[in-house]
Chains A and B, each alone.
Chain A
C-alpha cells in the first residue's frame, strides 16, 4: 500500500520554541487517521505542514508522493479544513460553492449542491449567519467537492455541540465510503476519534509518542494489575508506558508484542482512551505537565 503521508525527522521551530520535533510517520492510504494530543502539542503545525501552509524547519515530508505545497495539481489532490472552519462571512453558501467551482478544476458541482441540500442549508444564507456546525459542514463540503485524495481536518468538531459533532462525523464517514479518500483528522478528544478512526497518532509535547493501526495498538497494549512491585524489573520486550501504585497494588500500561505469561499479573485489554491517556501522562510526568483536556 502506498503512503499518503511520509515524514522523516520532520520539525518546525517558531523562534526559539519547537512546535514539532523529530516527527517520523508513514501513513498508509485508505485510512481514517486520528491525530490526537493535548492543545499545543503540534497537531495544527503537522497538519499545516502537510497541507503546504507551513514550511518545515527540519526533516522531509511527502504527501501523496510529492513535497507539499507547490503546484496547483498537488493542491487539487489535498483537501484541508482549518481549525474553526474558516469561511467568508460576507459570502453566501451558494457563493462559496461558486468559489469552489471557479478555483478547482475537478469540482463536483452535483455532489456539492446535493450535500448542501441534504444538510438543509439555505444557499442564499451568508456564511457569517450560519451556526458553528453549519459552517463546519459548509467548509467540509467545499473541501470534499474538489474531490481530493487526502482530506486533512484540523479539530473539525472541537467547537461543535454533541449533536452537530455526530452529524459532522457521520457525513464525513459517508464521504469516505463514497469517495474512497484518506482522511487525517485531529482532535484533543479521543472520544471523537474512537468511532471513526482506524489509525491513530498520539502527539504530545511536539513529539509523536505512538502511531499505528488502532487494532494493532489495542492488541499490543495491555493493562496489568498485580501486587506492588518495581516496574523496572519487567522482562525484555515489555515497555512500561505508565505506572501507578497504591500501597499494595501496581497498575501498569505495557506495550509488548509477545503475550504476557507472568501469573502475578491480571492482564486486561485496554481501551483506546486509556491508551492515549497513558501516553499523555507519561510525557506529562517526564516534562512539564501539558494542558490535558479529556472528556470522559
Chain B
C-alpha cells in the first residue's frame, strides 16, 4: 500500500520538493545579505539618529521576494488542499479505480489510512519546511515592524501554524473529493471553504483564544497622537486619538474615555480648536483627567497563540480524516 501511495503521489512530491528547493536557494542567496544589512544599518541607527530612514530603507530591501513569499505562504495551504487533498480519492472515484484497489487483499480502512497519513504527513512536512525557511528569512524584517508578529498578516506566515493550515486544507480537500466524487468541483469547494474558514478564524476567533489584557488607566499623554472633532462618540464630539506604545502587541480596541468612563468627551475645548497651539491643547487634555481603555494581546503571547491555533486546525483535520474513514467504510462503493 505504501508503494502504491508513493507511486501515485510521486509527481506531486517531486514538484513540491523542487519548488521548495528553488525557494531555499533564493533565501540562501539573499538571507545572509539581509542579516548583514540589518546589523550595519538598523542596529547602529540609534547612534546615528537616522532610525526612520534606516528602517524604511531596510524594509524596502528585496521587496519583490518579500511580496512573492507572502503570496506563497497565503497560497501554499490552499494549493496543498487543491492539488494533494482533492484528487486523492476523487481521482480514483472518477476513474473507477477504487474498484480495482479495494478488491486487493487490503481493507478499505488500511487503503485510506495509508493514503491519508502519508500524503497528510507530506503536506505538513512541506508546510513546516516552508514556514521554517520563511520565518528565518523574515526574522530581520519582523524585528523592525511595523506591526509585531501577532499582526494578522504576519502571524499566519510564521512558526507552526502553516503546518496546521496545510493539514486542515489537505483533509478538507480529501473530504470534498470523497463527497463530490469529481476532482475539479472538489478543488473549487476546497478553496472556497478553506478561504472562508481561515478568514473567519483570523478576524473573529483568534483574538479570543486567550482572554485579552484589559488596560484601564489614566491617559498617558505620551501616546496621544491626534486630537479633533468627530470620531466614535459622534460628529460634534471632542476626539483624542492614541497610539499605544506596546511593541508587537495586537490591539483589539482602544478608547479614550472621561474619568466617569463615558466615551463621549463633550464639546471640543477652545484650546484644541483648529487655530490653537498643540501644546496648549495637550495641557488642556491633561487637566481633563481622561482615561484610556485598551484591550490587547501582548507580544509575548505569540507562541501561545501559535500552539492554540495549530492545535485547533490539527483537530479539525483529524476530525475530517476520521469522517473520511467512516464514510469510505460505510457509504462509498
Contacts and interface: CB of A to CB of B under 8 A. Distances in A.
B333 interface: yes
A98 interface: yes
A108 to B, nearest CB: 13
Interface string B230-267: 00000000000000000000000000000000000000
Contact of B103 (A55, A98, A105, A143): A143
B100 interface: yes
B3 A86 contact: no
A102 B8 CA distance: 14
A270 interface: no
Interface core residue of B4, B95, B102, B105 (most chain A CB under 10 Å): B105
A98 B110 CA distance: 18
Contacts, number: 73
B333 A106 contact: no
Interface residues of A, number: 37
A104 B104 contact: yes
B14 interface: no
Interface in B291-333: 330, 333
Most chain-A CB neighbours within 10 Å: which of B3, B100, B103, B107?
B103
B100 A75 contact: no
Contacts of B96: 82-84, 86
Interface string B78-110: 000000000000000001110111111111101
A146 B100 contact: no
A259 B7 CA distance: 63
Interface string A70-93: 111101101110111011111100
A75 to B, nearest CB: 5
Contacts of B16: none
A102 B3 contact: yes
Nearest to B103: A80
Size category, B interface: 20 to 34
Contacts of A219: none
B197 to A, nearest CB: 31
A45 to B, nearest CB: 9
B1 A102 contact: yes
A104 B3 contact: no
A78 B107 CA distance: 13
B107 A72 contact: yes
A201 interface: no
Nearest to B332: A53
A180 interface: no
A95 B104 contact: no
A32 interface: no
A99 B182 CA distance: 24
B108 to A, nearest CB: 8
Contacts of A156: none
A269 to B, nearest CB: 39
Of B1, B100, B102, B107, most buried by chain A (CB within 10 Å of CB) is B100
Contact of A75 (B3, B7, B97, B105): B105
A79 B103 contact: yes
A84 B96 CA distance: 9
Nearest to A128: B95
A76 B106 CA distance: 8
B4 A106 contact: no
A80 B96 CA distance: 13
A20 interface: no
A69 B330 CA distance: 11
A106 B100 contact: no
A99 B333 contact: no
A48 B102 CA distance: 11
B104 A75 contact: yes
A210 interface: no
A103 interface: yes
Interface string B192-216: 0000000000000000000000000
A53 B332 CA distance: 8
Nearest to A83: B96
A146 to B, nearest CB: 6
Point out which of A69, A82, A90, A106 has the most chain B C-beta atoms below 10 A from its C-beta: A82
The 8 closest A-B pairs by CB, nearest first: A103-B104, A82-B99, A76-B105, A86-B96, A80-B103, A53-B333, A104-B105, A54-B333
11 contacts: A48-B333, A55-B330, A75-B103, A79-B103, A82-B100, A82-B103, A84-B96, A86-B96, A95-B7, A98-B3, A100-B104
Given A71-B107, A75-B102, A103-B106, 18 more contacts: A48-B333, A51-B103, A53-B103, A54-B333, A72-B105, A72-B106, A75-B104, A75-B107, A82-B100, A82-B103, A86-B96, A88-B8, A88-B100, A95-B7, A100-B104, A103-B1, A105-B105, A143-B103
Interface of B: 1, 3-4, 7-8, 95-97, 99-108, 110, 330, 333
